[in-house]
Each structure stands twice: as C-alpha cells, then as structure tokens.
Amino acid sequence: MAFSITVSAASNKAPPFAQKGFPLTIEASPDDTVEDIKKKIQAKIPKFYTSRQRLTLKSDKKPLANEAKLQDAGFSPGLELEIKDLGPQIGWKTVFVIEYAGPLLIHPLFYHLPRLFYGADVAHSDLQRMAFAMVEAHFAKRILETLFVHRFSHGTMPLSNIFKNSGHYHILSGLFLAYDLYRPGFSTSSPYIQGTIRNNPQFLWVCAGLWAFFELSNFSTHLHLRSLRPAGTRKRAIPTGYGFGLVSCPNYLFETLAWVTVCAMTGSWASYLFTIVGTIQMILWALKKHSAYKKEFGKAYPKRKAMIPFII
C-alpha cells in the first residue's frame, strides 16, 4: 500500500542548491528501503546524490541504515523523515589510493635526489637500500589491495576528511620517514652503520624475512575478510582461521609487527613515530570493530582480544 511521506531538512542542513526543495513529499511503500527513499529524493533534486544524504526519523536522531525497510525501521504513515547534508563525498577507494600514493612517490625523491634535500650525494648503505625496497613494496601492496581486494561497508566519506587522512601518511611515513632514512647519517660510510649490526647482511636479511612474513600474513587476513563479504553487500560473518583465533583484527596486528621490524632494523626516530601513532589508531579501530562483532554475533562470537593477543 503506497502512502506519502514528508522529508524535511534537519535544522536547515540541506545544501544551498536544495534549500527551496524541502519539505519534500515522497510516494513510498512499506517495502521501500531507506536507499530507495534516497534515490527518490535524488530524482527530485538531482545534485543531492544518495551518498550525501543522511536520513533519520524526525523523532529519532539515529541514522537509518540504507538497507533497512521503512516498515522495519519503525516508520509508519504520518511520521516524518529528516534529512541532513553530509557534504561533498569522495569514494573510499580513491581516498586510500591518495593516502598510499603519497609515501610511494615521496620516498623515491629523497632516495634518488639526495643532493636536493641534503645538499650532498649519499652513498646508500645496504640498510638504506633494503629499507627503501620495503617501504615501496608496502605501499604498493596497500594500493593493489585497495583496488582489487578490499570491500568497503561505506562507499564514500566526506571530501574534507581526505586532508586529515592523507596527512598521517604523506607527512609521517612520507616526508619524515624518507628524510630520516636516506640522509647521510645512514649512508655506507656513517659511524651509525660501519662496524655495527646494521651493516651485517645476516641481520638485514633476517629483518627483511620477518617483515615479508608479517606483510604476507596481513595480506592473508585481507583475503579472508574479503571472502566473508559478498560483492555489493554489507553482510558480515565471524572471521576464523589464521590470526583470528587470538584477535578480532589480526590484519592490524601483522601490520604493526611489520613496522616494528622496520623500527628494529633502522632505529629511525621517524619509523618509531609513524609506528606508534599508527598503532594507537589501529588499536582504536580494532576495539570498535571488536565491539561491533560482539554486538552483532552475541554469544556465538569467540572469546578473543581486539588486536594484541592476551592484552588488548
């Protein structure tokens, strides 16, 4: 049974091009999803695309999930929906590619053009060569995973967030790490390298082997997470298997361990800074995902920590 619903702008938070369009009357049915309503709004106001809209019941400020049907979301004829403009959006894939492309492009500049940044040529040590290869491989892997492996529960994010998100990678793992790693202090003739374990090929290859193991383990968990979410859905299942027996987010654990290896191999202050900041952020993400898993699956969810085995 079709009925009319009213959509009003929450506290005049419609975009300027849509200010005169609200309140808006939409024809709907109980089986329509929130996403269907958003599409009908866009049909009337083409510039107000669906990913930019947030809909709530007028009596409730909690955002309505796109896949929820009106009848399941507590909506009934006579109630009103409120819409809020989330602002210009950008796709998550684009966001991640921009984030990871920063270090991928910045490191070769410092590595191949040292005179431009240090005022002198640098005879690169084996440590510098290996660190350069590891950093480049890491961010190339992240871009390939973004393009071909990851499936995102949300298609877009606010465009303004791209600057904050990119800053972490472009500055900490880009400018700071590249500047510190390829400077003369790490060169082949530096006292920091000569006669130390950092000039020992066995030590360097052990570090590279551990790093590769953690990177491949991280990749393995990403493949498993992809297998749990059919394309085009937000469906989730309980992750199991390698790494997941101990923690909910082994992908974060393995990434942290890979960067800890870089820290131990190089002793670079910039690598420690990036690793510490990144680990804190991943712990926060892991705790949030761990809580969501427990809420969604209840007693069926295995007993495990969020990211660090037996601790967090």
Helix or strand holding residue 133 (H, E): helix 126-148
- Buried b / exposed e along 259-283 (16+ C-beta atoms within 10 A): bbbbbebbbbebbbbbbeebbeebb
Query: For residue 190, is pLDDT > 80?
Result: yes
Query: For residue 68, is pLDDT > 90?
Result: no
271-308 residue pLDDT tens:
999 999 999 999 999 999 999 999 999 999 999 999 99
Which amino acid is residue 302, in one-letter code? P
149 and 269 in one domain?
yes
pLDDT attached to residue 53: 87
233 and 124 in one domain?
yes
Is the peptide bond prior to 23 cis by the omega test (within 30 degrees of 0)?
yes
Q: Which of 105, 151, 137 is nearest to 215 (CA)?
A: 137
Q: Which of 148, 55, 169 is nearest to 105 (CA)?
A: 169
Single pTM value for the model: 0.85
230-278 residue pLDDT tens:
766 667 789 999 999 999 999 999 999 999 999 999 999 999 999 999 9
The last residue of one of the domains, among 47, 66, 87, is 87
Looking from the CA of 86 toward its CB, the CA atoms found within 13 Å total 17
Domain count, the chain: 2
Q: How confident is the model at residue 124 (pLDDT cuts 50, 70, 90)?
A: very high
pLDDT attached to residue 233: 65
CATH number at residue 74: 3.10.20.90
pLDDT attached to residue 79: 72
Most confident of 21-35, 136-150, 151-165: 136-150
Name residue 53's beta-bridge partners: 85
Please provide the size of the chain in residues.
312
Which amino acid is residue 197, in one-letter code? I
Helix (H, G, I), strand (E, B) or coil at 289: helix
Domain region containing 108: 90-300
Most confident of 7-11, 54-58, 210-214: 210-214
Largest CA distance in the chain: 82
Query: For residue 174, is pLDDT > 90?
Result: yes
Query: Is residue 312 a part of any domain in this protein?
Result: no
The last residue of one of the domains, among 42, 72, 87, is 87
Cα separation, 305 vs 286, whole angstroms: 9
Query: For residue 13, is pLDDT > 80?
Result: no
Cα separation, 260 vs 134, whole angstroms: 13
pLDDT attached to residue 32: 87
pLDDT attached to residue 61: 77
Lowest mean pLDDT among 13-17, 88-92, 240-244: 13-17
Q: Which of 263, 248, 132 is nearest to 187 (CA)?
A: 132
Alpha-carbon separation of residue 146 from 114, 141, 190 (angstroms): 31, 9, 38
Both tokens assigned to 289: 């995902």
Q: What is the arithmetic mean of pLDDT over 1-9?
A: 80
193-234 residue pLDDT tens:
999 999 999 999 999 999 999 999 999 999 999 998 876 666
The last residue of one of the domains, among 54, 87, 120, is 87
